[in-house]
Chains A and B, each alone.
Chain A
């Protein structure tokens, strides 16, 4: 099953800290959003493998904007 990890805050993508193919677990930091000059971690709600990264550094995020597609185990 596929699922997406979405932005929980608006802002700019500061960095994506996983790569396609990375195995991730619930609660793991997968990306960082810069909101009002604060770095906020985006955490995975899934156990699985990163299938596709949809965003890059400096992309503008709105709340619920999909960031990463995960193949959930």
Chain B
């Protein structure tokens, strides 16, 4: 079965990104929009658009019923959820399938299971992939947390079993804060993720965030498309991503590819996904979680492999087998992405507003800019602050970094604050240039961020 018309249940740059592949494959595209996005630029590229409700995402982009309705009205035969919103929501996947449409992503059953980080930790344990020391199952109360800390020492993380997007992670440094943190995180979990379950992870000293992009088909063939280094983060959300990582050796790479294949096949996963690992300063890898969707930073991998990940998602969803083997995947040169957020460049305070002037440097070689920006476009306060992704390719890391700096220098957005200067500052720093960094880099450079 080949997809003919795809509904994209998302907003902003990722809609434009997915439409590009739709055009390449001759698939019709359907975009949806809330009241706040009535005049947004991402709609102009779609073949058809459907209004789905108020600005409040609960009533529009997170509203399964209206999205399914839009799918039926448009005659779409498949749904791509993008990232964020309902992209990893098993009920949405199920609703799409029940409505007779194809879900572009792993099955509802897999989504339901991997939503629980404890399930993933248990699977990893079973297939011999190391997980960060901590509890495999949700903790029952603060006694258990105190007991763990007595045995293993502080600091520890309390993490929501069903948290995500950087939410539901709290650090505990001493006994006094256990009760307060436990109660707060349980409350957040209950409100935001419909589950107050949380588990403990020992905090690693100066870890790096390394993840592996993989794709699998329904027949159990998997390929790894390379790792991405994503240690430059603020509020547990990524700012700069690159591939290859400046520290991962070929031996380490083969090991984390092997971990990834073991985990994906034990989960019965098909489609594109990412296994996230933490690498300790001693080079030990711990499995953290699986991102069961297309990721924001996927262009980095596309630039070094020449493989269109969205295209492969659509083909696999249509029932096709993977068209290439692991041996045929060639990773070439170095790619690096800087996310441009609508935020204050120093405090990372949100900065919604209207884009008064815009210059996007599209005339540079080996630069890809994924965005859905336009002059006089309103950047609403209701959604993610991501404005654009600037991605550079080079034969070497310094070449890619230089090209990225040049592109950022020529990227001009007026009317709101952006993190273009932040990116520039990081990329030009000596530690970054030398590859000496960990997930604490932004905090060390810019101080504590609320």
**Is B28 on the interface with A (CB-CB < 8 A)?**
no
Interface hits, B334-350 → A, CB 8 Å: 342-343, 349-350
Please choose the segment from B225-233, B317-325, B376-384 that sits at the chain A interface, where 4 or more of its residues have CB less than 8 A away: B376-384
**Is B358 on the interface with A (CB-CB < 8 A)?**
no
Q: Is the CB of A58 within 8 A of B350?
A: no
Encoded as 1 (CB less than 8 Å from any A CB) or 0, chain B from 326 to 365 comes to 0000000000000000110000011010000000000000
**Is A48 on the interface with B (CB-CB < 8 A)?**
no
Q: Is the CB of A11 within 8 A of B58?
A: no
**For chain B, which range describes its interface: under 10, 10 to 19, 20 to 34, or 35 or more residues?**
10 to 19
Interface hits, A27-72 → B, CB 8 Å: 35-38, 40, 58, 60-61
**Is B56 on the interface with A (CB-CB < 8 A)?**
yes
* Count of chain A to chain B residue pairs whose CB atoms are closer than 8 Å in the complex: 39
Complex Cα distance, B169 from A28, in Å, reads 25
Q: Is the CB of B58 within 8 A of A9?
A: no
- Which of B58, B381, B385 has its CB near the most chain A CB atoms (within 10 A)? B381
Q: Is the CB of B56 within 8 A of A36?
A: no
Encoded as 1 (CB less than 8 Å from any A CB) or 0, chain B from 380 to 405 comes to 01111100000000000000000000
Q: Is the CB of B383 within 8 A of A36?
A: yes
Complex Cα distance, B349 from A10, in Å, reads 12
Interface hits, B55-75 → A, CB 8 Å: 55-56, 58
Q: Is the CB of A9 within 8 A of B382?
A: no
Q: Is the CB of A10 within 8 A of B58?
A: no
How far in angstroms is the closest Cβ of chain A from B132?
26
**Is A24 on the interface with B (CB-CB < 8 A)?**
no
In terms of DSSP, what is the predominant structure of the interface of chain A? strand
**For chain A, which range describes its interface: under 10, 10 to 19, 20 to 34, or 35 or more residues?**
10 to 19
Closest to A14 in B: B191
Q: Is the CB of B56 within 8 A of A58?
A: yes
Q: Is the CB of B383 within 8 A of A37?
A: yes
Complex Cα distance, B221 from A34, in Å, reads 42
Query: Which single member of B165, B381, B384 contacts A9 (CB below 8 Å)?
Result: B381
Query: Contacts A9-B350, A10-B352: A36 and B384 contacting too (C-beta < 8 A)?
Result: yes
Query: Contacts A36-B342, A58-B58, A60-B56: A12 and B350 contacting too (C-beta < 8 A)?
Result: no
Complex Cα distance, B383 from A12, in Å, reads 10
How far in angstroms is the closest Cβ of chain A from B157?
19
Complex Cα distance, B343 from A65, in Å, reads 22
Complex Cα distance, B385 from A36, in Å, reads 5
Query: Contacts A9-B381, A11-B382, A12-B382: A36 and B352 contacting too (C-beta < 8 A)?
Result: yes
How far in angstroms is the closest Cβ of chain A from B35?
9
Q: Which residues of B contact A35 (CB under 8 A)?
A: 350, 352, 381
Known: A11-B381, A12-B381. 8 other contacts (CB 8 A): A9-B350, A11-B350, A36-B343, A36-B381, A36-B384, A36-B385, A37-B384, A60-B55
**Which 6 interchain pairs have the tightest Cβ spacing?**
A36-B350, A10-B381, A36-B385, A11-B381, A35-B350, A35-B381
Please name 11 pairs of A and B residues whose Cβ atoms are closer than 8 Å in the assembled complex, sorted by A: A9-B350, A11-B350, A12-B56, A12-B382, A35-B350, A36-B352, A37-B384, A37-B385, A60-B54, A60-B55, A60-B56
Q: Which residues of A contact B (CB under 8 A)?
A: 9-12, 35-38, 40, 58, 60-61
